[in-house]
């Protein structure tokens, strides 16, 4: 399935049905009077967050969503049938933006959450409504209100507990594959990850969701590379895991590049709790590990974890550190013991 996280959609609610001009005509009823019914209400346009979706690819093939108009009123005081609603089924975590692509109309973060995007027009009154003591045979009725037409944007921000950040080839996809059932593409060249990947991670009988996004490079906030395009997917994360390639000659510079791009993109990301880990230690000797760990701690001002995604060294300690931050944000039901976790 292709990944799509931004889509432009055209919507229109249904117009109301027109009121009816009708008069009661029955044998032996000399003065029947008006009996025109009202028009039906036009259908609304809704957006609903549904589980099981993680892409907006469906909106690439269908961009127009029109609700049905209400039926016209009829004689014998019969009201027209209301129009059918149009419902946009979107993944959980979808932001709905106005046409300017900046104004947020709604943010659907819970399954089943719904928002009204365009209200259908009211049906017009039939001539029965205009009957009075001085106007006993009105021959006028109201037309229905027109529907609302607008253009909106759908922007998906994945719901994840932890987010992976780092330079290309820092080992993010390898780490995600080692700790979850996710199978991201892994290769020895940069930008093997072209779109975000989600994986369910388990540690000490606890589970949480981790998101891996394409690697960041210097100048990403100015449009270089593809990593900054997906930074929005980790804005909802409770914590970030910053992986640094231990085989790099300048681990401090690598970390500085990533942190600079995070800060340039959004102060929200820089304010998030963050864990830094020196990856690929299986390819280094102890002296090199100690030196580069010190350089990294001096640059970030944080305790640096040592790990290897390939050899699975230090992975459990990193996951426990992540859970220490994520755990308080989970509902108590998530902490129920259901037997030992098996990787």
272 annotated to bind ligand: no
pLDDT for 281 beyond 80: yes
pLDDT for 215 beyond 90: no
191 annotated to bind ligand: yes
pLDDT for 26 beyond 70: yes
Percentage of the residues of the chain whose pLDDT score is greater than 70: 86
281 annotated to bind ligand: yes
Residue 194: the pLDDT is 55
Instruction: Report pLDDT digits (tens) over 80-106.
Output: 999 999 999 998 889 999 998 889 999
226 annotated to bind ligand: no
Residue 216: the pLDDT is 66
193 annotated to bind ligand: yes
186 annotated to bind ligand: no
308 annotated to bind ligand: yes
212 annotated to bind ligand: yes
Q: Of residues 185 and 37, which shows the higher confidence score?
A: 37
CB-count exposure of residue 249 (10 Å: 0-12, 13-18, 19+): exposed
Q: How confident is the model at residue 333 (pLDDT cuts 50, 70, 90)?
A: very low
Residue 312: the pLDDT is 85
Average pLDDT of 171-200? 66
Domains of the chain: 1-156 (2.70.210.12), 162-335 (3.40.50.300)
Greatest Cα pair distance, the chain, in angstroms, is 110
Average pLDDT of 122-151? 91
pLDDT for 219 beyond 80: no
CA quadruple 202, 266, 94, 273: dihedral, nearest 10: 20
132 annotated to bind ligand: no
Residue 183: the pLDDT is 62
169 annotated to bind ligand: yes
pLDDT for 60 beyond 90: no
pLDDT for 110 beyond 80: yes
166 annotated to bind ligand: yes
pLDDT for 271 beyond 90: no
339 annotated to bind ligand: no
275 annotated to bind ligand: no
Task: Look at the block and give the residue holding tokens 């014998």.
Answer: 76
282 annotated to bind ligand: yes
Q: Which of 36-50, 133-147, 169-183 has the lowest mean pLDDT?
A: 169-183
131 annotated to bind ligand: no
pLDDT for 140 beyond 80: yes
Task: Look at the block and give the residue holding tokens 């009708």.
Answer: 22
CA distance 125 to 78: 11
262 annotated to bind ligand: no
214 annotated to bind ligand: yes
66 annotated to bind ligand: no
Q: Is 320 left (phi over 0), alpha (psi -120 to 50) or beta?
A: alpha
Return the closest-CA partner of residue 343 out of 207, 209, 211. Answer: 207
pLDDT for 175 beyond 50: yes
310 annotated to bind ligand: yes
Helix (H) or strand (E) holding 299: helix 286-300
215 annotated to bind ligand: yes
Say which residues have a Cβ less than 8 Å from residue 205's Cβ, sequence separation at least 6. Answer: 337, 338, 339, 340, 341
Average pLDDT of 306-334? 81
């Amino acid at each position: 399935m292709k990944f799509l996280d931004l889509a432009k959609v055209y919507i229109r609610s249904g117009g109301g049905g027109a009121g009816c001009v009708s008069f009661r005509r029955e044998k032996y009823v000399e003065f029947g009077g008006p009996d025109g019914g009202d028009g039906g209400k036009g259908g609304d346009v809704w957006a609903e967050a549904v589980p099981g979706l993680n892409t907006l690819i469906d909106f690439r093939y269908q961009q127009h969503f029109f609700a049905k108009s209400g039926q016209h009123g009829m004689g014998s005081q019969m009201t027209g049938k209301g129009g059918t609603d149009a419902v946009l089924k979107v993944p959980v975590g979808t932001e709905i933006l106005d046409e300017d692509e900046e104004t947020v109309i709604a943010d659907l973060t819970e399954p089943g959450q719904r928002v009204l995007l365009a209200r259908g027009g009211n049906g017009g009154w039939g001539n029965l409504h205009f009957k009075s003591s001085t106007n006993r045979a009105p021959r006028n009725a109201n037309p229905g209100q027109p529907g609302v037409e607008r253009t909106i944007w759908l922007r998906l921000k994945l719901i994840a507990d932890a987010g992976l950040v780092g330079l290309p080839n820092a080992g993010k996809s390898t780490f995600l594959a080692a700790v979850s059932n996710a199978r991201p593409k892994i290769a020895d060249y940069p930008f093997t990850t072209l779109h975000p990947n989600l994986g369910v991670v388990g540690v000490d009988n606890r589970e949480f969701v981790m998101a891996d996004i394409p690697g960041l490079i210097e100048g990403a906030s100015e449009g270089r590379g593809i990593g900054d395009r997906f930074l929005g997917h980790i804005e909802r994360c409770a914590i970030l895991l910053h992986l640094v390639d231990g085989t790099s000659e300048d681990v401090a510079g690598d970390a500085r590049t990533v942190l600079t791009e995070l800060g340039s993109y959004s102060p929200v990301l820089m304010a998030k709790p963050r864990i830094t880990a020196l990856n690929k230690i299986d390819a280094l000797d102890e002296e090199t590990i100690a030196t580069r760990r010190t350089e990294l701690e001096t640059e970030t001002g944080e305790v640096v974890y040592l790990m290897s995604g390939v050899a699975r060294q230090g992975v459990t300690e990193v996951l426990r550190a992540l859970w220490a931050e994520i755990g308080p944000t989970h509902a108590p039901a998530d902490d129920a013991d259901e037997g030992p976790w098996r990787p």
